[in-house]
Amino acid sequence: MKNSAILLVQCPDQKGLDAAIAEFIYRHSGNILRFELHQTELDRFYFARIEWDLSGFQLDVKDFPERFAPIAEKFSMRFRLALSSYRPRAAIFVSKFDHCLVDLLYRQRMGELKCEIPLIVSNHPDAKRHADFYGIPYHTIPVTKETKEVAEQRELELIRANHIDLIVLARYMQVLSAEFIRDYPQQIINIHHSFLPAFVGPKPHLQAYERGVKLIGATAHYVTEALDDGPIIEQGVARISHRDALEELVEKGRDLEKVVLSRAVRWHIENRIVLHGNKTIIFE
Amino acid sequence: MKNSAILLVQCPDQKGLDAAIAEFIYRHSGNILRFELHQTELDRFYFARIEWDLSGFQLDVKDFPERFAPIAEKFSMRFRLALSSYRPRAAIFVSKFDHCLVDLLYRQRMGELKCEIPLIVSNHPDAKRHADFYGIPYHTIPVTKETKEVAEQRELELIRANHIDLIVLARYMQVLSAEFIRDYPQQIINIHHSFLPAFVGPKPHLQAYERGVKLIGATAHYVTEALDDGPIIEQGVARISHRDALEELVEKGRDLEKVVLSRAVRWHIENRIVLHGNKTIIFE
Amino acid sequence: MKNSAILLVQCPDQKGLDAAIAEFIYRHSGNILRFELHQTELDRFYFARIEWDLSGFQLDVKDFPERFAPIAEKFSMRFRLALSSYRPRAAIFVSKFDHCLVDLLYRQRMGELKCEIPLIVSNHPDAKRHADFYGIPYHTIPVTKETKEVAEQRELELIRANHIDLIVLARYMQVLSAEFIRDYPQQIINIHHSFLPAFVGPKPHLQAYERGVKLIGATAHYVTEALDDGPIIEQGVARISHRDALEELVEKGRDLEKVVLSRAVRWHIENRIVLHGNKTIIFE
Amino acid sequence: MKNSAILLVQCPDQKGLDAAIAEFIYRHSGNILRFELHQTELDRFYFARIEWDLSGFQLDVKDFPERFAPIAEKFSMRFRLALSSYRPRAAIFVSKFDHCLVDLLYRQRMGELKCEIPLIVSNHPDAKRHADFYGIPYHTIPVTKETKEVAEQRELELIRANHIDLIVLARYMQVLSAEFIRDYPQQIINIHHSFLPAFVGPKPHLQAYERGVKLIGATAHYVTEALDDGPIIEQGVARISHRDALEELVEKGRDLEKVVLSRAVRWHIENRIVLHGNKTIIFE
């Protein structure tokens, strides 16, 4: 297994940034595996993701923040260090449609998703047998208008108790409260079954069917308080025709949603995503 | 060259429709080449496109409407007969961006678009040299708020004088008046440089850039009085990333727009498109 | 559920075919839902798939062959009648890689694949738990050079005992004997993990990696005695780059293989595939 | 216009490479715009493309090789420096099919291809009017078995006289001699109208048609002495069906070939391609 460190950096663009970072890593005998930059044109901002091999690295990663601080200060950097050996802990929220859940569980088992999944939450009991198959605790927490607040409390407790790093809404048909969302900025990924910003809100397949589009879409995005308006991580489309009834849109949508959501989750847990305003930078 | 007739039929669905049509064609010694149906689920409507070889067909196509009338009446059909030997006459409207124009002219010359192009209209003189290269009359008709009505009058005269069957808005940056549009129902095709219904209106690439989508689109549609809301004929998308500046969206958009528009024009002139409310049925 | 009949016809092309078929169905009060033709250009052959609603059809489908015989004879037709109410019985063969198996089982449960799956055969026990999850009998039949003949005998017995209509090789890593294959013409579908005819034979991903292609592929085809050379049903590709190591090719290949194989199986069980020499006609 | 320098480096992988390069550029006040690495897994080789802004760079680029030599020596680097302000000089070779030629000329005029095109060579006069339209010298040099050697001599003279950096075979139907090819290593790009390695050699569309594939392809590659076996730069595919006659494959192929070839040419002239054995690394 790869044992590497990933440094995510953002700051105003200026000369010498790359040299300073590369030199720091080299000084401690790190071998850089990936060095990716992105400079934004208008506001001249600098984003970078640097990954290096930790075998032979002569600095204890615990001391990294302190040692790197002078460089960070000099360049007014915000930075974050992640270790490839750490497997983020993801909770999956699901309702009755279980295709994304099943797909994520399978990919995790195959090693495509290098994360733990210690928790599945659903407002319905239907998907439990898949959780059982993979040996993952499954909590049925029904949600009605009246019980929503209590339900969210219970969910939040489970999330905290399980040290969850990432919440994946895998066709979870409930809208989370603003309070819930605020506690998990850039930590909740949702799959919306349309090509956003087309067909915001409920029943996007029906909206697409009625408008007569020739492609249907799916969009994975971070959840923010504005419905279906968070930073887009990944999108996909599939071709449809006049012969496709609504139920075929749903079917074709399933294949899309699985691929789009799993890719977004993967990039997140591999520390490849940085936010720039309401847009994502993906260091693929 | 193929010498065939194409019959487009629509009526309430009922038994015996196909038999009646096929038997009629056979009775006059026609050899059916394509027989395509579409039944709509909810309103139980029947749409068909039947193409048959005219070599050996023992009915003068001029007499077809009269002879077919009893069948049409029996089934309450609306029908339209087209001949593959007839090359529809298309006018192309263009502004300064000439990529779709150049693409259409080249495809027409290669035989991909079996139509005549006797007329190009533009509010700018820039694209004239391409018209000259292909030997097509090019009319520069500037449009301002004040001259719009007069300009449209001139355009309509040219369209009538040239017996135009189809108007292609190949990135023509002017909005046609409701009167103009009303005279040419299902005869004006526009290319909009977004994945409709996302990013309706002006500057869709800028809108896409600002929203941070991961795919850009293009949509060819029939023009109706509601802006960017007519029946969609074809759509396409291309992948973009955070690295693409606005100008790269424009560049990638060009390739999309060419392919999407030319496909829509082709289907139209090959009599493959039928309207069903605000949706298109494409007998590909 | 749709209760329809599907007639697949092939014969030399001639006038009156469509009329004769449509008239026959109408005479017995059938409402045609789909009428698809294909005429081949060079050898002037006619292929058709006609689907009609059986509600109100006044001929017992058991009597169809006899009643339709005069028409078939007149036009030298070969024909086959299938009922949408009949769920074909598919056996899945698998080795250790279980992604296609898991995908097929899920799709069958979701109703995308309208078939029964009464039998899974594998030369390894690994995938058994998935069979158990879906409640499908799983037979581990190890295959070595020495035991191959005996193993195949056992497989054939299971196939016969279970009245299997279709055998799906879902990444089954054994080559079936010519005798086995001969007994099931156009009834064995294999998924090959390359874009055939590129990279025939073993380790296609390694071959692709070494050649430095920019797209990897997957091909679903009917199995014939010539290795990887049977009629192609469906193909798909995915983009790769120099950054993808061999193991990433394998990962990206999995998504491809699932989609390509399941589509081929679906078309087969929906009676949409006709053979024309070594090529397939897919009435989608 | 961007005024930047691009450094392409390759050497055995070792620690400190990135630091040394970044520090060197920073020391001379260069602002790095892109820093892309690729390490190969098996043979542990390091490839990099570094692009930096030359405004404010305090080293005359003419002196770069000498000043950078100590670093290059220390790490056993092979390196190449290119300037974005230099527009490479491309010659286009074409036969009768002019779609790729017309496409390249249009893209060059639009600024998508930042190169000069001072020379078009063809064994037929047919495409001359397009050359005339864009004001580019066009040389008709017929090639027969007997005249091939003389013809190539004439071509080589034109190439030298025009200081050509890149030769683009835009559906040039002649095979160049081994001598010709040897003189221009990684400087000749060909478009082959199949998904290589499938359908090597003549008439790939016919081969594809006869095999019954469901996707056709196009491949842009560097020309080496082994026919159709050089390093692949880019590939694309398009969907076909049993309904597509050979001529439709040709038509659909045209759209593919244009896009695939123009992308390969663009990457080449933007100094994004590095060879690793018979494979390409594309720093997109």
Distance from CA of B117 to the nearest CA of D (A): 20
CB of D30 within 8 Å of a chain A CB? The answer is: yes
D35/A contact by beta carbon, under 8 A: yes
pLDDT in tens, A31-41: 999 999 999 98
| Tokens 């795919």, located at residue | B215
Residue D86 confidence (pLDDT) above 90: yes
Q: Which residues of chain A have a CB within 8 Å of the CB of C99? A: 106, 110
B1 pLDDT band (50/70/90 cuts)?
low
Closest approach of B198 to chain A, Cα-based (Å): 5
As a whole number, mean pLDDT of residues C217-246 equals 96
Catalytic residue among A228, A229, A244, A255: A228
Q: Is C279 part of the contact surface with chain D (CB cutoff 8 Å)?
A: yes
CB burial of residue A202 (10 Å; 0-12, 13-18, 19+): exposed
Residues 6+ apart with CB under 8 A from A11: A17, A45, A46, A75, A76, A77, A78
pLDDT band with cut points at 50, 70 and 90 for residue D108: very high
Average pLDDT in the C125-130 region? 97
Which residues are within 8 A (CB) of D257 and not within 5 positions of it... i.e. 6 or more apart?
Answer: D99, D100, D171, D191, D193, D218
Q: Which residues of B207-240 are buried (b: 16+ CB within 10 A; e: fewer)?
A: bbbebbbbbbbbbbbbbbeeebebbbbbbbbbeb
**Cβ–Cβ gap A99/C106 under 8 Å:** yes
Q: What is the pLDDT of residue C284?
A: 87
- Is the Cβ of D199 closer than 8 Å to some Cβ of chain C? yes
Q: Which residue of D has its CA nearest to C42?
A: D245
Question: Cα–Cα distance between B283 and C237 in angstroms, integer?
Answer: 26
CB neighbour list of residue C248: distance below 8 Å, 6 or more residues apart: C240
Tens digits of residue pLDDT in B175-209: 999 999 999 999 999 999 999 999 998 999 999 99
CATH 3.30.70.260 is right for the domain spanning A4-83? yes
Place of tokens 């989508």: B213
Is it true that the peptide bond before C12 is cis, omega within 30 degrees of 0?
no
Indicate which residue of B63, B165, B228, B255 is catalytic.
B228
Give yes or no for D280 touching C (CB within 8 A). Answer: yes
CB pairs under 8 A between A and C: 17
User: Shortest CB distance from D133 goes to which of B112, B133, B255?
Assistant: B133
A284 → chain C, closest CA residue: C243
Task: With beta carbons less than 8 A apart as the criterion, state whether B223 and B166 touch.
Answer: no
Asked if B12 has any chain C CB less than 8 Å from its own CB, the reply is no
Element (H, E) at B255: helix B246-269
**What 8-state DSSP symbol labels residue B242?**
T
How far is the C-alpha of A228 from the C-alpha of A219, rounded, in Å? 9
Distance separating alpha carbons of residues B141 and D140, to the nearest angstrom = 40
Domain ranges in chain B?
4-83, 89-282
Q: Residue B271 region, left (φ>0) first, then alpha (ψ -120 to 50), else beta?
A: left
- What subunits make at least 3 CB pairs under 8 angstroms with D? A, B, C
Q: Give the chains touching A; criterion: ≥3 Cβ pairs < 8 Å.
A: B, C, D
Q: Which of D2, D13, D18, D284 to mutate to test the interface with A (most CBs of A within 10 A)?
A: D18
Name which CATH class applies to A89-282.
alpha beta
pLDDT tens for D152-193 read 999 999 999 999 999 999 999 999 999 999 999 999 999 999
C-alpha gyration radius of chain C: 21
> Would you tell me which residues 218-277 of chain D have a C-beta closer than 8 angstroms to some C-beta of chain C?
231-237, 241-243, 245, 276
Collect all residues with Cβ–Cβ distance below 8 Å to D195 and sequence separation of at least 6. C195, C198, C215, C217, C237, D215, D216, D217, D218, D219, D235, D237
Cα distance between residue B91 and residue B111, in whole Å: 17
Which of the four pLDDT bands, split at 50, 70 and 90, describes residue C43? confident
Query: Which of B2, B4, B7, B15 should we substitute to test contact with C (largest number of C Cβ atoms within 10 Å)?
Result: B15
D48-63: average pLDDT: 95
Q: Which residue of C has its CA nearest to D246?
A: C41
Average pLDDT over residues C176-194: 96
In this prediction, what percent of chain A has a pLDDT beyond 70?
A: 100
pLDDT tens profile A166-213? 999 999 999 999 999 999 999 999 999 999 999 998 999 999 999 999
Q: What is the pLDDT of residues D116-157, one digit of tens each?
A: 999 999 999 999 999 999 999 999 999 999 999 999 999 999
What's residue D41's pLDDT?
82
Check CB contact of D47 with chain A, cutoff 8 Å. Answer: no
Nearest to D205 by CA among D239, D253, D156, D147: D253
Q: Report the pLDDT value the prediction gives residue D1, as an integer from 0 to 100.
A: 59
DSSP-H helix ranges across chain A: 17-27, 64-74, 99-110, 128-134, 148-161, 178-183, 204-211, 246-269
Given A18, A27, A30, which is nearest D22 (Cβ)?
A18
Question: Which pLDDT score is estimated for B43?
Answer: 87
Alpha helices (H) in chain D, listed in sequence order:
17-27, 64-74, 99-110, 128-134, 148-161, 178-183, 204-211, 246-269
Kindly report the nearest CA distance between residue B127 and chain C, in angstroms.
37
Chain B residues touching C36 at Cβ < 8 A: 35-36
A228 assigned to active site: yes
